[in-house]
Structure 1
Amino acid sequence: MDSSIKYLTDLEGTQVKFDAVAEPPFNFPAQTSIILEKLGEDSNRLTKEDIAAELGPSDTAGKFLCQPASEEDHNRRAFLRIYQQLPIAGTETKKAAIRASQAVDSPPDNLELNAFRVFTKLDCDVVPRLLGYQQRQQDHDEGVPGGHITYILWEKIPGDSLDLTEFWRLPFADRQAIRNKFRQVYTKFMLCGYMLCMGGPSKIIYEKPSGQMHICGFKRAFPFDEPQTWGDTHYYQYGLIQRSKFPFYLEEKPPNKADWIEDVNGWIW
């Protein structure tokens, strides 16, 4: 299993066309997005032995910053994720017929798309809006002819990922205001029945001027097995409180701890 090779390269400036989706409650118009910048890629390049062990298929997932191709929406930004089946390691230069024989009959269940579809059905307003999606088969001149490609497009909401070091430098009252907002937002998020595989401050998008907050990062989002209730451990999972015995590392200059408060349960607020 090799994740060092990148496959979704040199796509800046290319257009991705989405067909209209009219399957209530999903109603997305046909649209075209232009890729502006690649933000990252995670590849899962598997060997024949991996495939035999049912670890496959090989695939990759890349995230991109986009803008609409239409001039009236030219200043808007969105994020695009591309999931694409890859050839088995060592077969990348084999004939197209050999690579085509590796195509799966149907695309694997896509966790991110499943989550976004649920959020849309439930009209969840504390996550970015799904703007469109597309699933197709690869062409003859692509890596795995007949293999799957899935495109997911969602809005880029105002704000940035919460900076944990900056957060812990704020006065106690300001930290509490952010925690209170997070509890409000995350409680609504839990009602959708989903959890993130890896929580953390990067999943909290916070716009300072307005105080608006959203939860993001659904590449590995899973439905709950049973309903969840709020607990202070959710603050901890996202870095908003610390354990007194095991404080986490804060980058750069340590903040002033004068107004840090430890409660009877050993949480630092």
Structure 2
Amino acid sequence: MSSSFSTWFIKGINPGTVITLNQPFSSQWKILEKLNEHEFQINKEENNDYGFSSFASAKFQCYDPKQRSKEAFMRMYIQVPHRKTEMDDADTRGRQATIFTPPELIAYRDLNQKHSSNTPKLIGYKTGTQDRSGLVPGGFIIWLVWEIVPGLRLGDSNGADPYWAHKSDERERVRKAFVKALPKLVENGWFPTVSRARSLVWHQDTETLYFVGRFSKAGKRKSPVEFAEWIATFELAKPVPPVRWEDDDWDKDTSRWEW
């Protein structure tokens, strides 16, 4: 990661900027604030050998300027120069331009088409290329906007404290909803990239559990799903004693677990 170029999203996307999307239909979204930014910069050899692209992404909170109460999340992807080529001239950097579709966009489009009821809906997106003044002239620039689902996020980077703050009967309802929702997501071909409570949002009024964040292709399992394993993996139970799922000697005894 290049510390000299650690912030790529400086011009043109300040709060108040309106972004126009064109897929699947035209829509406009006004930026409220930038929530985070991540960099995925590689060197030329990694691009030549594996076809990887250098890019940065930023997440924003935004809203429909015609309907202020309609808020959503936006992610912007932009191709950036390969590591150690940041100071090359535009023509050289332009030769780095590649075609790229974010896996996140692929997942959301597919889940939309399959009418998934436990994941956020993709609202719109737009793919384009940078102009002559861009970081990589001719390089990709991509926007996508998805809904903010209602409810309480059950975890964060520190763990699952919001989930464990619920009373035991409410936690039981969450787990029952999880056991119903996870197979539907897998059947649709996807799985949360981060298998933790922070990938879950619980809407108490409708008893709906949503999976949020990025998704990865669901692989085919050689053995049946052990729901106790996944409940614990997503921090909805605390194994006692701690369990290593890859160990063949797990006796599947959950009687001492904290639920």
TM-score range, shorter chain: 0.7 to 0.9
The equivalent residue for 1:86 is: 80
Say whether residues 1:6 and 2:1 are aligned partners: no
Deviations 1:124-163 (A, max 9, x none): 1111111111111111111001111121111111123114
Say whether residues 1:216 and 2:217 are aligned partners: no
Say whether residues 1:118 and 2:121 are aligned partners: no
User: Counterpart of 1:37 in structure 2: which amino acid?
Assistant: E
Deviations 1:215-247 (A, max 9, x none): 1112x5224346974622111121001210239
Alignment of 1:15-30 (within 5 A): 15-19=18-22, 21=23, 28-30=24-26
- CA positional deviation for 1:122: 0.8
Unaligned runs of 5+ in 2: 244-251
The equivalent residue for 1:160 is: 152
Secondary structure, aligned partner of 2:69: coil
Q: Give the count of matched residue pairs.
A: 243
Unaligned runs of 5+ in 1: 22-27, 248-261
Secondary structure, aligned partner of 2:28: strand
TM-score, normalized by length of structure 2? 0.84
What RMSD, in angstroms, separates the aligned Cα atoms of the two structures?
A: 2.5
With 74-83 and 227-236 compared, the bigger mean Cα shift is at 227-236
Say whether residues 1:244 and 2:240 are aligned partners: yes
User: Counterpart of 1:221 in structure 2: which amino acid?
Assistant: S
Deviations 1:158-208 (A, max 9, x none): 123114224324332222111112222223222211112221111111233
| Aligned mate of 1:135, from 127, 133, 138 | 127
The equivalent residue for 1:44 is: 40
- CA positional deviation for 1:97: 1.2
TM-score, normalized by length of structure 1? 0.81
Q: 2:173 touches 2:207 (CA, 8 Å); kept in 1? A: no
Q: Distance in 2 between matches of 1:17 and 1:123?
A: 25
CA distance 1:64–1:97, shift in 2 (3 Å) = same
User: Counterpart of 2:217 in structure 1: which amino acid?
Assistant: F
| Aligned mate of 2:53, from 42, 57, 60 | 57
Q: 2:17 touches 2:31 (CA, 8 Å); kept in 1? A: yes
User: Counterpart of 1:231 in structure 2: which amino acid?
Assistant: F
The equivalent residue for 1:146 is: 138
- CA positional deviation for 1:266: 5.3
Say whether residues 1:268 and 2:232 are aligned partners: no
Q: 1:2 touches 1:46 (CA, 8 Å); kept in 2? A: no
| Aligned mate of 1:68, from 64, 69, 74 | 64
CA distance 1:88–1:13, shift in 2 (3 Å) = same
CA distance 1:51–1:244, shift in 2 (3 Å) = same
The equivalent residue for 2:185 is: 189
